[in-house]
A and B are shown apart, each in its own frame.
Chain A
């Protein structure tokens, strides 16, 4: 009986303990890898952390959508769709964009990632606007706030370049992309704004940021300063056809910024370094903790990597006009036997992302976004289009003579042409994701090859893809199928012919 008594007491008390202890509190569990959105940005330190997250978004990681922005796809998008670069063969990461055979079901997308960046920027803007950041000086907070405005503008601009028609085709009247200025609800179904509206918003964000006087005027490697904002705005105006403003801003950067062009002797080796004299904005690829692994654009370019894309025969011909051009050194000939069989000693492999100095791994390299060279070329082009041939020559010349100080070519206001500026731009910016956008905004025809005799290194393409201009429907991507399926508003706003 005694035994039974003890047993009964134990039984009842243990039951009661369970009943009491297993109430609601026992069931309150919190994640170990996340914080409540409400508390996420409440101090200056949090703001700095959120800022790093925002730039990480531009850079991307090795995940499926992660690689679709500056880490990879956005760069080769600007190359293989035009005439200076091509995929090595079908089945490569860049092949779909090169072959231009895609339908709405399988088209590559550059969509989620830029909008993800926009949300990260908007979260910073919102937290500051709502006064949630309780520590830090007004200048410190204002700096990050205005960096977020610039990043938001950059992402909108990139999206409208990919999904909207070039501005001057119809003065921006056709569909651009949805403008997002706050962190919206996940149930929202935004509609597309017109190309003009997107440009207006991008210009407003950039102008606001520049006029705030909160952005740094010093070099700040890896982050937006006022010169990044101005370089971007110069580019935006150039794309818009507002050549006067484009030139004004470009000249401002050239004259007043702390940046100077690399010298001829610096040129070849500058790509592995960080914070060099002409690099206005570069995305920092610090080590294997913030890289994008083998999906990285440098790995795609490298013969020892995915050997994904190479320069075309046409581009080789262009570059070979001057054997002493320093830019000969950023395109490498093949080393591997199988490639030598295919390309001989031709310089085909872009070497602008050879691997960060000291990292010993070509999957780690800063990604150039704004170089002073581009700003010079913007200035030259904008000046020319503005009938200011003197300045056009003035700003083209440093690029030409830097490439080969001993050049015998004479460039002056009487012989300068838009073609000459465009040719220099192709040579200077190859591999950095510009050529396709430049061809489209200047209404140039993209000619890969016209018959089997001038095919060069191009592999067999369909008739459509051999040559086309910006009226070809595949010259802009379809709104991704996953967006169309999830967003009934945008489903009615698909790009024509998809």
Chain B
């Protein structure tokens, strides 16, 4: 029977034949001198080629041929051990080198960092576990080089943007692939509504306290195995597993508060605003030739229409719509097990109140991870269930957005939200809507329930072969409710509006993997894998809405007088074949090859199969005789060079875009009409990435390690929703349009400054430089796409800003002036922007980003903090309504504090900082509204104290720790930057909730 199995398998492999001899079995566990399991140590029967490696728990099992009885255990960075073969062996390997013991988990194998040929950064979450942020992604900030974490909004539970090595796509798909315990998962925004820009992050359903480690894969060597989804990198998350031994219980609780991290969009107070608007009215008339006295008479008669003081005094809308946020977090976990079975189980509860009076986030989460070993079977099962409730306030340019109300165009110090009887009023409201009424009466809720289950069965076929089947099922149920109370402005006419979307996302994944790990002649180490995978994703939703509610007290649709509904199902499938071989010779020379073919339903059958591959290698110079004999060995304890090249891809976000279709639902006269919705695009294909990475790892005397990587990432066949001529009747078409390059380098420096048992101090610094450049558009080197204040143009980075170039105030007229930027490159200026040409004025992309982290422990105290910084990028204030120096919104809404009356032009000849403020002015999009995003931010800080074990044991406890932690604590930036420097990733900022500063105080108890 066994022979036949092998014959079948050899169809998959390139004919690997061998003979299975008569054997006895040896097994056991390998641990290091701290008692921690040693992973992927090579176990070889001395004098043979028979070998295996230890698993994640340091366990091994090997068939020892008759006549042999010695096992040799080797691992890079550890001293080799020889021992007599037996069952239940206990092997202790001593560390040879503390620093190189990092583990890289790629999802398709676990490697010692020293043997890894690609570029990846790992971090264990232990040291950042206390930082008060909701999302896993936020914890990455500053910790890993080349990774930028931003969010569109500071509302708790909002969708995050993570960029690894710049932006490889123009379309939405710039986020990395997230893999949890080997299974690619759904991430991104689940919200169907756009009233709030923050969206609902699917990643926020995962409790970060259940996470053991995070590996960020940046280059092609390991990422190519993920093929069509890996173009933007892969974030591999490993959850906590049980440890054999005593059953341990941990409890943790913390409480905190939050506010804005910066002084966001300061506005003028009531009187200052009135003075400014008054001056603008006077200027209107004096500019038209009236005398000062005439102009003042006019202004006196007009000013109260725009800036009267309410009977109750000037109104501070911040007090009405914003507050200090709060936070409470409780976690409990229990873990333990024995040789065969281990478990980890946790429960968590988080409750956050956001800074706007409506916003909040509440999450219950639970997880059970179990592993079991039975003879040759190894079973892993994990299940996570979580339920997250998000309440949102509107954002962006929605009329009910509290951020827009307080900082922009929805309120003013002259508008008091109540009338004299104490009822809500819209009299004086700049936008015909009472933001306070909207906030108090209406809601936008989003509940996400997720169950993520994953079971795998591995079977040891012997002789280094292992076969594993994994099934995963990710079930996400979302329910969004938008309620407009019949008493509110939005709900009034309809007698109340209730919209509900019930969404269901399911992903069924299968993975069949065959691995082969063997050592030949003690020198040749082979680690091979072939696999077949499928993924079947389905998204279905039911949208219902009701209007005409007899009472605001009963918002359920059963009470509505009119209801309507809509449903749809979208599906996407992918099938993949993949394989890789890693080979190393004597832990000196390493070689890796990977190949993957993906077939995707979102592309036409001619274009749907994409093949992605990588080649990588490394050379450990420090293992060479010439090195070890030289003085270099005294200085550098380890040295390695790495190189990789490979391809991977990005798939289209849209499910069926290659079809040309008609859609229905265009209703007229009671009939559902049809209309052409999209032209066919059978040529739509994968966006492909070609990534090169060259790296160097150096260790100086076990104290300092340096990792340097240079990379080049070329993306071809960029997918983009191109704006088309609307004369066609369409707005956009999805197409493969060009080529883009990200090139840069990364440096990571880690230093063990002090390593004593009661005093340790480690520092790590990372720096990254990335240059993004569009190389080709529409198969042309001249191509450009302009989209509002943004341009995509060959020779320039993605997200370049396109506007007039501001040339300061014209001394003669007091108007804004602009460089003409005509064909002759002259620096002439004009005050009439229609005579000037728009030009590229800057870009979002920073030149340098990085982080600096320190961890210090002394006796029972621990202190950790991370600074992040960014240099060379720009933000563009896209709240254009406010930028008119006296236009319509400047007269009925909040007025930004950047209008300083004392800095304004007065008379001809003035070299003023600010233009004259005149009623009725128009706004011009110019570089005046661009600002630097350079900043240094104390991203997080945690200070803790662990009570002495002797003391806590008396209370039958193992551990008691008290701590305080904060995030986004201080920000140093230019005072002209009145937007949060870590704003949304396209850099065009309107009225999204800015980044929050949070503090928390907690306690941790272990039994």
Question: Which residues of chain B come closer than 8 Å to A118, judged between CB atoms?
Answer: 729
Task: Check A183/B469 contact, CB under 8 A, given A27-B605, A37-B680, A52-B673.
Answer: no
Whether the pair B673, A288 counts as a contact (CB closer than 8 A) is: no
A89 x B892 contact (CB < 8 A): yes
A487 at interface, CB cutoff 8 A:
yes
- Indicate if the CB atoms of B674 and A482 lie closer than 8 Å: no
Interface string of B470-514 (1 = CB under 8 A from A): 000000000000000000000011100000000000000010100
Task: Flag if A289 contacts B659 (CB, 8 Å).
Answer: no
Instruction: Known A8-B5, A56-B667; judge A40-B676 contact (CB<8 A).
Output: yes
Interface residues of A in 69-111 (CB under 8 A from B): 89-92, 95, 99, 101-106, 111
Q: B675 an interface residue at 8 Å Cβ cutoff?
A: yes
The reply to whether B726 and A486 form a contact with Cβ atoms under 8 Å apart is yes
| Contact of A28 with B568 at beta-carbon distance under 8 Å, contacts A190-B727, A299-B493, A480-B726 already known | no
B670 A50 Cβ-Cβ under 8 A: no
B210 → A minimal CB distance (Å): 31
Q: How many of chain A's residues touch chain B, expressed as a range?
A: 35 or more
Q: Closest residue to A88 on the B side, CB-wise?
A: B432
User: Contacting chain A: which of B138-146, B569-577, B704-712, B971-979?
Assistant: B569-577
Return the CB mask of B380-401 against A: 1 if under 8 Å, else 0.
0000000000000000000000
Is the pair A29, B601 in contact by a Cβ cutoff of 8 Å? yes
Given contact pairs A35-B662, A119-B728, A53 touches B673 in the complex (Cβ within 8 A): yes
- Does A7 belong to the interface (CB within 8 Å)? yes
Select which of A14, A50, A104, A459 is within 8 A of B674 by beta carbon. A50
A36's contact among B492, B510, B659, B728, by CB below 8 Å, is which?
Answer: B659
Given contacts A34-B662, A52-B666, A103-B924, contact A15 B731 (CB under 8 A): no
Instruction: Please indicate the chain B residues that have their CB under 8 angstroms from the CB of A30 in the complex.
Output: 656, 659
Residue from B8, B512, B562, B672 in contact with A49 in the complex, judged by beta carbons closer than 8 Å: B672
A90 to B306 alpha-carbon distance, docked (Å) = 11
- Interface status of B922 (Cβ within 8 A of chain A): yes
- Select the stretch in B93-101, B581-589, B857-865, B883-891 that faces chain A: B883-891
**Known contacts A31-B656, A35-B662, A482-B723: A55-B467 contact under CB 8 Å:** no
Tell me which residues across on chain B come within 8 A of A177, comparing CB atoms: 727
A216, chain B: closest CB distance, angstroms = 15
Pairwise interchain contact B534-A18, C-beta atoms closer than 8 A: yes
B469 contacts A49, C-beta separation under 8 Å:
no
Question: CA of A40 to CA of B574 in the docked complex: distance in angstroms?
Answer: 28
Is B812 an interface residue, CB under 8 A from the partner?
no
Q: Which residues of B contact A116 (CB under 8 A)?
A: 675, 729
Judge whether A12 and B5 touch: CB under 8 Å: yes
Q: Which residues of A contact B680 (CB under 8 A)?
A: 37
How far apart are the CA atoms of A305 and B494 in the complex, in Å?
Answer: 10
Q: How far is the CB of B916 from chain A (nearest CB, A)?
A: 14
- List A contacts of B728 (CB < 8 A): 115, 119, 180, 184-186, 188, 190
B663 within 8 Å of A by Cβ? yes
Contact digits for B651-694, partner A, Cβ 8 Å, 1 yes 0 no: 00001100111111111111111111111100000000000000
Within 8 A of A (CB), among B409-428: 409, 425, 427
Q: Interface size on B (CB < 8 Å)?
A: 94
Contacts of A35 in B (CB 8 A): 661-662
Q: Report the bound CA distance from A452 to B925 in whole Å.
A: 32
Given contacts A57-B666, A304-B493, A305-B493, contact A460 B919 (CB under 8 A): yes
Please judge, given known A-B contacts A463-B288, A483-B727, whether A7 and B459 are in contact too, CB under 8 Å.
yes
Instruction: List the B side residues contacting A55 at CB < 8 Å.
Output: 668-669, 673
Q: Are B575 and A14 in contact, with the CB atoms below 8 A?
A: no
Separation in Å of the A207 CB from the closest CB of chain B? 24
- Could you give, for residues 578-605 of chain B, a 1 whenever the CB lies within 8 Å of some chain A CB and a 0 otherwise? 0000000000000000000001110001
Q: Name the contact of B726 in the complex, choosing from A8, A26, A90, A115 (C-beta under 8 A).
A: A115
Tell whether B636 is near chain A: CB-to-CB under 8 Å: no
The answer to whether A485 and B493 touch across the interface, beta carbons within 8 angstroms, is: no
Q: Is the CB of B493 within 8 A of A103?
A: no
Contact between chains at A99 and B888 (CB < 8 Å): yes
Q: Is A101's CB under 8 angstroms from B922's CB?
A: yes
Specify the chain A residue showing the minimal Cβ separation from B675: A53
Q: Is the CB of B785 within 8 A of A485?
A: yes
CA A289 to CA B892, docked complex, whole Å: 35
Tell me which residues across on chain A come within 8 A of B431, comparing CB atoms: 91
- CB-based contact B534/A22 at 8 Å: yes
Closest residue of A by beta carbon distance from B786:
A485
A321 close to chain B: CB less than 8 A: no
B493 touches A33 (CB 8 A): no
Of B569, B573, B920, chain A has the most CB atoms within 10 Å of the CB of B920
Q: Check A460 against B302 for contact (C-beta < 8 Å).
A: yes
Which chain B positions have C-beta within 8 A of A305?
493
Given contacts A36-B661, A485-B723, contact A52 B605 (CB under 8 A): no
CB of A462 closer than 8 Å to a CB of B: yes
A105 neighbours in B (Cβ, 8 Å) = 924-925
A477 at the binding interface (Cβ < 8 Å): no
**Alpha-carbon distance between A40 and B919 when the two chains are bound, in angstroms:** 54
Chain A nearest CB: distance from B266 CB in Å? Answer: 22
Complex Cα distance A46/B669, Å?
16
Q: How far is the CB of A66 from chain B (nearest CB, A)?
A: 10
Contact between B493 and A363 (Cβ–Cβ < 8 Å)? Answer: yes
Expressed in whole angstroms, the Cα–Cα distance for A22 and B508 within the complex equals: 14
Question: At the interface, yes or no: B898 with Cβ under 8 Å from chain A?
Answer: no
Which residues on B sit within 8 Å (CB–CB) of A91?
A: 409, 430-432, 888-889, 892-893
A59, B666: Cα distance in complex, Å: 10
A183, B676: Cβ atoms under 8 Å?
yes
Residue of B nearest to A366 (CB): B669
Closest A-chain residue to B545, C-beta based? A288
Set of chain A residues within 8 Å of B547, measured between Cβ atoms: 288
Cα–Cα distance between A324 and B655 once the two chains are bound (Å)? 62
Q: Bound state CA distance, A149 and B727, in angstroms?
A: 17
Shortest distance between the CB of A322 and any CB in chain B (Å): 33
Seed contacts A29-B571, A89-B892; 13 additional CB < 8 Å A-B pairs? A4-B1, A28-B601, A33-B663, A52-B666, A53-B675, A57-B675, A91-B431, A116-B729, A119-B676, A178-B727, A284-B669, A461-B920, A483-B725
Q: Please name 25 pairs of A and B residues whose Cβ atoms are closer than 8 Å in the assembled complex, sorted by A.
A: A15-B512, A22-B534, A24-B599, A24-B608, A27-B601, A29-B656, A34-B659, A34-B662, A54-B675, A55-B669, A89-B892, A91-B432, A112-B731, A119-B728, A183-B676, A186-B724, A190-B727, A222-B669, A289-B564, A289-B670, A338-B425, A338-B427, A363-B493, A460-B919, A486-B726
Q: A residues touching B (Cβ–Cβ < 8 Å)?
A: 1, 4-5, 7-8, 11-12, 14-15, 18-19, 22-24, 26-38, 40-41, 46, 48-57, 59, 65, 89-92, 95, 99, 101-106, 111-112, 115-120, 123, 177-178, 180, 183-190, 222, 284, 286-290, 294, 299, 304-307, 338, 361-363, 452, 459-463, 480, 482-483, 485-487, 490, 497-498
The 7 A-B residue pairs whose C-beta atoms are closest, nearest first, are A119-B729, A52-B673, A53-B673, A90-B888, A34-B661, A40-B662, A485-B786
